[in-house]
Chains A and B, each alone.
Chain A
């Protein structure tokens, strides 16, 4: 099997993760489920970054560094998402984004 074909298959899997995650982040009503959708999108970024390093530029560390950045973004998103969820719940006893639509702005 050629390297290009394997790369394309792995990137297709990553695109699938991005698509499913995007659907989840846009369609879910509970805040934590929206965060899970965003995590799935970033999961696809991890996979695509790893594949790009292995198949396209293994002599350069750049794509590995990109994967590290994606991991950090996941951690920050998780921490801030939970902090906002707790703050929301404490202030208004709500856990769904539709109930906070007055914050749109």
Chain B
């Protein structure tokens, strides 16, 4: 069956696909951590462009907006923690490069062999008029359990992030052997263990 994508859309998908993989490779090639972050952002934006060409408008916009903010935060962390944020000197910080390359290439080859040998089913069903509406009705209806689990997962992330961010752990509150009767808190009234 012929694709119902226009010639321009197919050309855009191909160009953005090449760009996304090239930017993904650039992440691990460039010397500067800040440049690596923005190469990753370019890869995400290319994928968002492909999703846009595939009629997934909402998911494309969410991907583009979320990843732009995420990479901006990541750039700050990169510059805070990394020893070569500006890339002023060439450096590579890798271990087991050969084994990793073999594993990555092996995964790629296995996937590509599967992709090009599977007899993909042809589609007869009709396309929804609005893919965003289809997704919205699914997560508020038949797929609400997914949304509930996502909500609990994100809430757990907030709690875990707060716990990891506090500088005072249980050893600070109850002593090295955890035997103190009362927690040594700056403000009294903290929960017991």
Chain A residues within CB distance 8 Å of chain B: 1-24, 26-33, 35-37, 39-40, 43, 46-47, 50-51, 53-59, 61-62, 64-65, 67-69, 71-72, 74-76, 78-80, 82-87, 89-90, 95-96, 98
Residues of A within 8 A of B103 (CB): 22-23, 26
Residues of A within 8 A of B161 (CB): 79-80, 83
Residues of B within 8 A of A17 (CB): 20-21, 24, 43, 47
Residues of B within 8 A of A72 (CB): 150, 153-154
Listed from nearest, the 7 A-B pairs whose CB atoms lie closest are A23-B104, A19-B108, A61-B138, A27-B100, A15-B111, A13-B17, A59-B125
Measured between C-beta atoms, what is the minimum distance from B96 to chain A in Å? Answer: 6
Residue of B nearest to A39 (CB): B40
Interchain CB contact (< 8 A) of A27 among B101, B120, B142: B101
Interchain CB contact (< 8 A) of B157 among A35, A50, A76: A76
Residues of B within 8 A of A78 (CB): 70, 73-74
B1-17 Cβ-contact flags toward A at 8 Å (1 or 0): 11111000010011001
Residues of B within 8 A of A57 (CB): 123, 125
Is B86 part of the contact surface with A, judged by Cβ < 8 Å? no
Chain B residues within CB distance 8 Å of chain A: 1-5, 10, 13-14, 17-18, 20-21, 24-25, 27-28, 33, 36-37, 40, 43-44, 47, 50-51, 54-56, 59, 62-63, 66, 70, 73-74, 77-78, 81-83, 93-97, 99-101, 103-105, 107-108, 111-112, 115-116, 120-123, 125-128, 131, 134-135, 137-139, 142-143, 146, 150, 153-154, 157, 160-161, 164-165, 167
Residues of A within 8 A of B47 (CB): 17, 43, 46-47
Q: Do residues A50 and B59 form an inter-chain contact, with CB atoms below 8 A?
A: yes
CB-defined A-B contacts under 8 Å, sample of 14: A10-B17, A11-B111, A23-B105, A27-B94, A29-B93, A33-B93, A53-B131, A55-B3, A57-B125, A58-B131, A68-B135, A80-B164, A85-B81, A87-B165
Interchain CB contact (< 8 A) of B27 among A13, A24, A30: A24
Q: Do residues B121 and A56 form an inter-chain contact, with CB atoms below 8 A?
A: yes
Q: Do residues B66 and A71 form an inter-chain contact, with CB atoms below 8 A?
A: yes
Residues of B within 8 A of A13 (CB): 17-18, 20-21, 50
Q: Do residues A19 and B107 form an inter-chain contact, with CB atoms below 8 A?
A: yes
Given A3-B3, A19-B107, A43 contacting B154 (CB threshold 8 A) = no
Additional 13 contacts, C-beta under 8 A, given A32-B77, A58-B123: A1-B10, A20-B25, A21-B104, A22-B100, A22-B103, A28-B94, A40-B24, A43-B24, A47-B51, A59-B127, A69-B150, A75-B157, A83-B165
